[in-house]
Structure 1
Amino acid sequence: MANTEILELVSTNKVFDGELRKYKFKASLSKTPTRRRLTMASATAHVPLLVYLAGLTCTEDNGAQKGGFFGPAAAKGIALLFPDTSPRGAGVEGEDTDWDFGVGAGFYLNATNPAFSKHYNMLTHVTLELPQVLGAAGLPIDLKRQSVFGHSIYERKVHSSIPSSFDLGGHGALTLYLASKTNQYRSVSAFSPICNPINCPWGQKAFKGYLQGGTTEAAEQYDATELIKKRTDPVRILIDYGTADNFYKQGQLLPENFVKAAREAGHDESQVQARSQDGYDHSYFFISTFATDHINFHAEFLL
């Protein structure tokens, strides 16, 4: 059981003979006035941790409810962690003006624009704050064995042209893995990620808003294609994207740029797999189809 002084239990559900637990906790590093939320499939032994990063406008619930990860993760004995996608209740001017920026769209970076830098520090939140909270709460997790994966989902709400979630988590997983100076994560995988965000409209908008240096600053730490060029040590990367994905066809995802940079840096298919899945789109139907593949990929390095 978790230390209740650190983690406040909100709800619990039995799933595949384990438990999915939602917690609230006080986020000190990210300085959010309200309590931050996380959802995790708790373990009964000292097991490795796989962190799942969700997409734009998502919360900690989307991947847990729709991803199809629990069965294969339970079979391998891997705990899953589902962080929220942004601060909540920070009260920053403009954070709730657009669906693709601000609340629900933290982009897994540390903002340097003074308007956002106090609260929007998702990189620190995921890589430092959450492991500290899990360790202090006494959960049975082996924090020396961590990996990360993420997704980009597009679903339209009923009677609305506004998407309920968009690209974000795949980009975040790749950049957190590649930019880590401590090799915090043993492996990374992503579903339909934005692979070269400094060269696509979604990334350019986010970087202009969060970072003082815009795309120039982002290229140093938040663009997977730029980061893979600098990696000389072996990497463990799996990417899946669908050929029927409209955003792939529109040039928003740019996996080809990433693969080209990886090969030029000496990372062959044994280190970087980028799989084109014929006929699949940008939905949870696509993700749930290949969920087991991604869990098994990480299990090779976590177990």
Structure 2
Amino acid sequence: MNRIEHRACFGGWQDVYRHESEALGCAMDLAVYLPPQAERERLPVLYWLSGLTCTEQNFIAKAGAQRYAAEHGVIVVVPDTSPRGEGVADDPAYDLGQGAGFYVNATRAPWAAHYRMYDYVAEELPALVEANFPATAARAISGHSMGGHGALVVALRNPGRYRSVSAFAPIVAPSRVPWGEKAFAAYLGEDRAAWEAYDATALVASARERLPLLVEQGESDEFLATQLRPELLREACARAGHPLELRLRPGYDHSYYFVASFIGEHVAWHARALRA
């Protein structure tokens, strides 16, 4: 791993590393915030997955999470949202290709050669972090929009691996909204049965662990009715008896102003679960 950024932040260090990913077959940038407690002890880790068009930079520059991570003694790890680089398939649209990996393992050409973001987040990333940083195996996961979808899916598909999961404005039912339908058809093909492995509303029905879901949603989000549809997750959880706390916030939109407003509450919530 090659450190390419190193900045003092709230008594700790906001770093960015570049490494060669086996899962993705390309170089990836990875942001790691080490709070001051990391100098003397191993700490639990909160993984953050970002949304469409984002890199690791959006969250570390805009969310203000480092202050709360330092307060609670939590490492924060933020990967990029897709494979990138020469030879990695792309599309001119913002919602497909580089910057729009959707946290799936693609099975269709040309995407299958590199787009294995599910394996990267669920398998390669924790192994990498726990081998190279003062991290324990206590993990939490969260994300925003496309990343909120990824956080819910990764946690639901891996019982016992995460102590907690939360999401900001997640795409809860990608199989039933335009963003997800477009990406899943491209990455996974037209068989909608295959899409259910990456759809939180389908996964809660068969979840082997009743890990509580915390979802934060702005009521003035411009994508609320067309792309996010949190009511579908609420209905799915009610049918399955899966614990869900859905917080609807009047006046808030889809931006990082929304994320920054409530990230402190989420970091504290994860910290309690990580140290339980």
Task: Compute the TM-score of the two structures, normalised by the length of structure 1.
Answer: 0.86
What is the alpha-carbon distance in structure 1 between the residues aligned to residue 31 and residue 68 of structure 2? 18
- Tell me the residue number matched to 2:3: 9
- The answer to whether structure 1 residue 233 and structure 2 residue 209 are counterparts is yes
Q: Which residue of the other structure, out of 227, 232, 241, is the alignment partner of 1:266?
A: 241
Match of 2:113, SS state, is coil
Task: Report the residue type matching 1:108 in the other structure.
Answer: Y
What is the alpha-carbon distance in structure 1 between the residues aligned to residue 59 and residue 112 of structure 2? 27
- Tell me the residue number matched to 2:57: 61
Match of 1:26, SS state, is strand
- Tell me the residue number matched to 2:220: 244
Q: Structure 2: which 5+ runs fail to align?
A: none
Q: Over residues 172-200 of structure 1, what are the superposed CA-to-partner deviations in whole Å (9 max), with x where a residue is unaligned?
A: 111111112x4211111111011111110
TM-fit CA distance, 1:92: 4.0
TM-fit CA distance, 1:40: 0.6
TM-fit CA distance, 1:292: 0.8
Query: Does the 8 Å CA contact 1:232/1:266 hold for their aligned counterparts?
Result: no
Q: Which residue of the other structure, out of 205, 215, 218, is the alignment partner of 2:195?
A: 218
Match of 1:252, SS state, is helix
Task: Compute the TM-score of the two structures, normalised by the length of structure 2.
Answer: 0.94
Q: How does 1:1-303 map to 2 (within 5 A)?
A: 7-32=1-26, 35-42=27-34, 43-44=38-39, 45-93=41-89, 95-137=90-132, 139-142=133-136, 144-152=137-145, 168-180=146-158, 182-219=159-196, 221-248=197-224, 250-267=225-242, 271-303=243-275
Q: Over residues 278-301 of structure 1, what are the superposed CA-to-partner deviations in whole Å (9 max), with x where a residue is unaligned?
A: 111111111111111111111121
Q: Over residues 20-75 of structure 1, what are the superposed CA-to-partner deviations in whole Å (9 max), with x where a residue is unaligned?
A: 1111111122212xx21101102322000000000111111110110121111111
Q: After alignment, is 229-238 or 35-44 more displaced?
A: 229-238
- State the identity %: 39
TM-fit CA distance, 1:214: 4.4
What is the alpha-carbon distance in structure 2 between the residues aligned to residue 21 and residue 208 of structure 1? 36
Q: Structure 1: which 5+ runs fail to align?
A: 1-6, 153-167
Task: Report the residue type matching 2:220 in the other structure.
Answer: A
Which structure shows the higher helix fraction?
2
